[in-house]
Amino acid sequence: MGKFVGKAVKRREDARFLKGAGTYTDDIKLPKMAHTAFVRSPYAHANVLSIDIEEAKNEPGVIAIYTGNDACGEFGVPCGWQVDFKNGETMREPAHPLLTKDKIRHVGEAVAIVVAETLEQARDAAEMVMVDYEELLAVTDPKQAMEAGAPLVHDQWEDNAAFDWCIGNDRAEVEAALESAHHVTEMEYRNHRVAPNAIEPRSYIADYDVNADKWTLYTSTQNPHLIRLLLCAFVLGIPEHKVRVVSKDVGGGFGSKIYHYTEEALLTWISREIGRPVKWTSDRSEAFMTDAHGRDHVVKSKMGFDKDGKIVAHLTDEYCAMGAYLSTFAPAVPTYLHGTLFQGVYTTPLIHLNVIAPFTHTVVVDAYRGAGRPEATYLLERIISKAAKEMGMDPAEIRFKNFIPPFDGVEEAGYQTQVALQYDSGDYHGVLERGLEMLGYEDFRKEQAKAREYGKLLGVGFSSYIEGCGIAPSAVVGALGARAGLYEVGHVRVQPTGKVSVFTGAHSHGQGHETVFAQFVADKLGIEMDDVEIEHGDTDQVAFGMGTYGSRSLAVGGSAIIKSIDKILEKGAKIAAHKLEAAEEDLEYAEGKWTVKGTDKSISFGDVSLTAYVPHDYPEGLEPGLDFSSFYDPSNFTYPFGTHIAVVEVDSDTGKVDVKRFIACDDVGNVMNPMIVDGQIHGGVVQGIGQALLEEVVFDEAGQMINASYMDYAMPRADDIPMIETDRTVTPCPHNPLGVKGAGEAGCIGSTPAVVNAVVDALAHLGVTDIQMPVTPQRVWKAMQN
Amino acid sequence: MQVKGNYMVNTTPNVVWDMITNPAVLEKITPGIKTLTVTGPDQYDAISEVKVGPVKGNFEGTLSLKDQVNLESCVLVVDQKSKMGNVVAEISMKLIPDGNDNTEVQYTGDAKMSGMLARMGQRIMSGVVSTLSRQFFQSLNKELEGEPSTE
């Protein structure tokens, strides 16, 4: 498109990040700021018999102590998505109080908060708060939570189901097709729970200004406007126009900072109670206990094939944990962000998915990088690879056989799936072909056979993923139960001197919006990137916004900015025509100036903007100024896709898996900045390998997370990851102006099944057909012995 | 968390039995114990201060012995609360004479922890528990050296 788009422009934000000069919420220190410490339950399920704060109150520095009897907002934080039972019963939605009064439902649930002059004083006093609990039996496994007699998380309902939902074709029809299928492959496994682990833990400062009667909430979040809306309208009932939410630099979120957390609302309330700014920053231990976790599906699946290896039907039943309450997006994750991707990249004619979503005595489960799509991809890509082995087919061949043929979404129509969505454009053959070429597939199989002779266990695993990003048309998500619209706001303010300030409702938590957005804005206006500033993360600056998640920032947020730029160029042309004494239709805009076609008469963007603000010689009836804001509501999701290939070597003595190569050939539509897309893929792949090999939240039978520290929770490290080989094909999105699809989650969606497929391939000759994630040395070794 | 171990004590099972059922001795040899109050036969209220590696804190709660088979075995029941979390454990102990006036104490059981103690992870906690058990039996041996045999 121009000078900057498509180039690996270095990230502007790194100038401050690499110097340690970013401004994260915890870096902010306000005058007279008080500090807080929570008293949290050591039990997963308990009755609170009594809370004694008398001794703690007299500790040095204590300003106030609040318990569930003080805190306002009986209902607490709301859920943003309603998924009803398939029989029509309404989703069961419990109150999620800011501080619990009587019943504990997960370890780490807050029963009291101590506000003190210093953090140390707050923590010391919190230790003096005496809580008497009566411990009760807990259930943490989503399937066990639905067994008869399981301890109830919310005893106003007869069982633990939040909802029981299904999608796709008629179940009986799918079952019949499986009955008559030539071959049926079955799988039963757990897509286990992981913790999000953003480098910057959650942090909030609430500052009530008594003279102005206004609040400022500084928060480490992915969507400041949504937090303000939920906080004001649903939790505290305070006027939205009197609250400013500021989110400066955010050090990672992976989904966990989308949601409105109880602590944010509680601090906002406390700040007015004590008339001072008040801060809370989670420590790592609290993060493990209270940040929304991801995944946790118990899966049972069947896929039927004809004699040629074509899929004829797919039936899956899942139990997907919600945790103790319903987090902001939780019900959408195992349903509309999961079941709607069960078509995958295949022509499967019959699909049925049933999801039972139980409450469990654990912290809430919500979107975690990929949100529902990694779980869908894991299932499809594992089961099709397993089927290939069972039917004696090559894993690449079975995929080629079942791929949806290429379609561009312009000449050829989008692909209508069996599970509600219509794919925009795709060429699934292309990415696998390129992936195989990068791998050198034939040579690899020879090397593998040879290595086996020497006792070396090599394996290769494929994953052909598709995902749904840029969510989505508001009317569609509304019909699917979203209680918000999912458009985006882009506001472009051309200053009198021709410098451009862009305000976006998307909010970077590490992605590099300040760079990428400036690239396409500069190109579209034909000006320098240095003349473009991207502003985000402040509700007083940005009109509105839905934030950053679901790889939507560029596809939706970028498109909103383009809409405003179009309005600016349209108005600018009127001013230029007036100044050049020409007709508007005789002008063309390129390289930052309007030119009368076929002449050397032109006027620059800067001169037009100055004229707009100093309108002495100006078109009659035209408003001064050059400043436009737009709301963009996309017409569809976007559907990035790709092929990920992992090559692993398994140590035959210890069972340790070493990822030797990782190939990612992705199609994310048009690419604005290849370096940033590579970075997003790298990060996602590492998280996907992390889930496949290392990470897992483990609870004991009492509901205690027994690996809630970095001594025991195995995060991937540099030496667990090979050089990641990336390449791309480009199938532009046909329905947004930039032709982009989204790259934030792709790495995490495609990689996990590729790694596990590779491990199973390495062990295939020993009769291993499946292995539970995370594929630890212990599990591999056991599988090899059986 | 599984708790398991054994320790050689330089005396006969009867002496060991007398010692571990004697509150005055227990108060001396239990690591970190501050007060031990008898509330019934083999039932105690205990307040202790434990400092092992990352585990530092005051514990308060009950200790008791049950299923006593005289001179042979018993089950130690621990129910202790602290700011770092709570511990509930049942540990069976067996006294096995080696024929040379020594006793091998074998112990095995299950400890349930909550709060910070649970989150700290089993690898660390099992280390802490084995350190505390070793200290207990070392003190028992020391106590023996200081006192004349009752036989």
Q: Rounded CA gap, A690 and A717, in Å?
A: 9
Closest CA to A149 of A140, A161, A141, A158: A158
Closest CA to A42 of A705, A673, A742: A705
Does residue B116 belong to the interface with chain A, where contact is any CB pair within 8 Å?
yes
Tokens of A155: 């005893």
Q: Could you tell me if A450 and A524 lie in one domain?
A: no
Q: Rounded CA gap, A603 and A618, in Å?
A: 14
Domain of A93, CATH number, reads: 3.90.1170.50
Mutate to test the interface with A, among B1, B56, B114 (most CBs of A within 10 A): B114
Query: For A44, which residue in chain B has the nearest alpha carbon?
Result: B114
Q: Dihedral angle at the C-alpha atoms of A505, A281, A703, A51, nearest 10 degrees?
A: -120
Interface contact A43-B118, CB threshold 8 A: no
Q: Rounded CA gap, A637 and A373, in Å?
A: 13
Q: Which residues pair with A352 in a beta bridge?
A: A168, A315
Q: Rounded CA gap, A5 and A524, in Å?
A: 9
Domains of chain B: 2-143 (3.30.530.20)
Tokens of A272: 């007015």
pLDDT of residue A326: 98
Interface contact A107-B121, CB threshold 8 A: no
A314 within a domain of the structure (yes/no): no
Q: Residue A603 in contact with residue A572, Cβ under 8 Å? A: no
Find chain A residues with C-beta within 8 A of B120's C-beta.
709, 711
Query: For A125, which residue in chain B has the nearest alpha carbon?
Result: B83
> What are the 10-residue block averages of pLDDT along chain A, 786 residues in total?
92 95 97 97 96 97 95 83 96 96 96 98 95 96 98 98 98 98 98 97 98 97 96 94 97 96 97 97 96 98 98 98 97 96 98 98 97 98 98 98 96 94 96 98 96 93 96 85 91 98 96 97 97 97 93 95 98 98 96 96 98 97 97 95 98 96 98 97 98 97 92 94 97 96 96 98 96 97 93
Whether B147 has a pLDDT exceeding 60, the answer reads no
Q: Which residues pair with A596 in a beta bridge?
A: A587
Q: Could you tell me which residues come within 8 angstroms of residue A678 by beta carbon, excluding any fewer than 6 positions away?
A: A726
Closest CA to A217 of A259, A248, A245, A258: A245
CA distance A363 to chain B (A): 14
Q: Rounded CA gap, A587 and A570, in Å?
A: 11
Q: Could you tell me if A543 and A559 lie in one domain?
A: yes
Q: Could you tell me which residues come within 8 angstroms of residue B17 by beta carbon, excluding any fewer than 6 positions away?
A: B70, B71, B95
A347 within a domain of the structure (yes/no): no
B121 closest CB neighbour out of A42, A107, A711? A711
Q: Could you tell me if A93 and A218 lie in one domain?
A: yes
Find chain A residues with C-beta within 8 A of B121's C-beta.
706-709, 711-712
A700 within a domain of the structure (yes/no): yes
Interface contact B112-A700, CB threshold 8 A: yes
A3 within a domain of the structure (yes/no): no
Find chain B residues with C-beta within 8 A of A108's C-beta.
none
CA distance B87 to chain A (A): 11
Q: Could you tell me if A86 and A119 lie in one domain?
A: yes
Closest CA to A41 of A105, A119, A98, A94: A105
Q: Could you tell me if A641 and A621 lie in one domain?
A: no
B121 closest CB neighbour out of A42, A127, A706? A706
A339 within a domain of the structure (yes/no): no
Whether B150 has a pLDDT exceeding 60, the answer reads no
A452 within a domain of the structure (yes/no): yes
Q: Could you tell me if A743 and A718 lie in one domain?
A: yes
pLDDT of residue B151: 37
Q: Spell out the SS3 assignment of A316-327.
A: EEEEECCECCCC
Q: Rounded CA gap, B81 and B98, in Å?
A: 37
Q: Residue A379 in contact with residue A187, Cβ under 8 Å? A: yes
Closest CA to A577 of A532, A534, A541, A608: A608
Domain end residue (candidates: A244, A266, A290)? A290
Query: For B118, which residue in chain A has the nearest alpha carbon?
Result: A706
Q: Could you tell me if A92 and A221 lie in one domain?
A: yes
Q: Rounded CA gap, A359 and A406, in Å?
A: 41
Q: Could you tell me if A717 and A665 lie in one domain?
A: yes
Query: For B1, which residue in chain A has the nearest alpha carbon?
Result: A700
Q: Could you tell me if A627 and A645 lie in one domain?
A: no
Mutate to test the interface with B, among A41, A700, A705 (most CBs of B within 10 A): A700
Give the largest CA-CA distance in chain A. 87
Number of domains present in the structure of chain A: 3
Residue A484: count of CB within 10 angstroms of its CB:
18
CA distance B112 to chain A (A): 8
A146 within a domain of the structure (yes/no): no
Domain end residue (candidates: A595, A615, A632)? A632
Q: Rounded CA gap, A344 and A79, in Å?
A: 28
Query: For A706, which residue in chain B has the nearest alpha carbon?
Result: B119
Does residue B114 belong to the interface with chain A, where contact is any CB pair within 8 Å?
yes
A711 closest CB neighbour out of B115, B116, B124? B124
Interface contact A127-B83, CB threshold 8 A: yes
CA distance B113 to chain A (A): 8
Query: For A40, which residue in chain B has the nearest alpha carbon?
Result: B115
Find chain A residues with C-beta within 8 A of B53's C-beta.
none
A386 within a domain of the structure (yes/no): yes
Does residue A714 belong to the interface with chain B, where contact is any CB pair within 8 Å?
no
Interface contact A704-B121, CB threshold 8 A: no
Query: For A45, which residue in chain B has the nearest alpha carbon?
Result: B114
Interface contact A706-B118, CB threshold 8 A: yes
To the nearest whole number, what is the mean pLDDT of chain B? 87
pLDDT of residue B77: 93
Domain end residue (candidates: A632, A666, A690)? A632
At position B115, the amino acid (one-letter code) is G
Interface contact A285-B119, CB threshold 8 A: yes
Domain that holds residue A556: 487-632
Q: Rounded CA gap, A736 and A632, in Å?
A: 10
* Long-range pairs of B13-17 with CB within 8 A, sequence gap ≥ 24: B13/B71, B13/B72, B13/B95, B13/B96, B13/B97, B13/B103, B14/B71, B14/B150, B14/B151, B15/B103, B15/B144, B15/B149, B15/B150, B15/B151, B16/B95, B16/B103, B16/B105, B16/B140, B17/B70, B17/B71, B17/B95
A705 closest CB neighbour out of B83, B119, B123? B119
Say how far residue A84 (Cα) sits from the centre of its chain: 23
The residue among B1 and A601 whose pLDDT is bigger is: A601
Q: What H or E segment, with its residue span, contains residue A395? A: helix A395-402
Does residue B121 belong to the interface with chain A, where contact is any CB pair within 8 Å?
yes
- SS3 of residue A112 by DSSP: strand
Q: Could you tell me if A605 and A734 lie in one domain?
A: no
Length of chain A: 786
Does residue B119 belong to the interface with chain A, where contact is any CB pair within 8 Å?
yes
CB pairs under 8 A between A and B: 47
Find chain A residues with C-beta within 8 A of B116's C-beta.
42, 285
Domain of A698, CATH number, reads: 3.30.365.10
The interface predicted TM-score of the complex, written ipTM, equals: 0.75
B118 closest CB neighbour out of A127, A700, A711? A700
Among A residues 101-140, those touching chain B with beta carbons less than 8 Å apart = 107, 127
pLDDT of residue B149: 42
By CB atoms closer than 10 A (0-12, 13-18, 19+), residue A700 is middle
Q: Could you tell me if A107 and A240 lie in one domain?
A: yes
- SS3 of residue A553 by DSSP: helix
Q: Could you tell me if A453 and A512 lie in one domain?
A: no
Interface contact B123-A711, CB threshold 8 A: yes
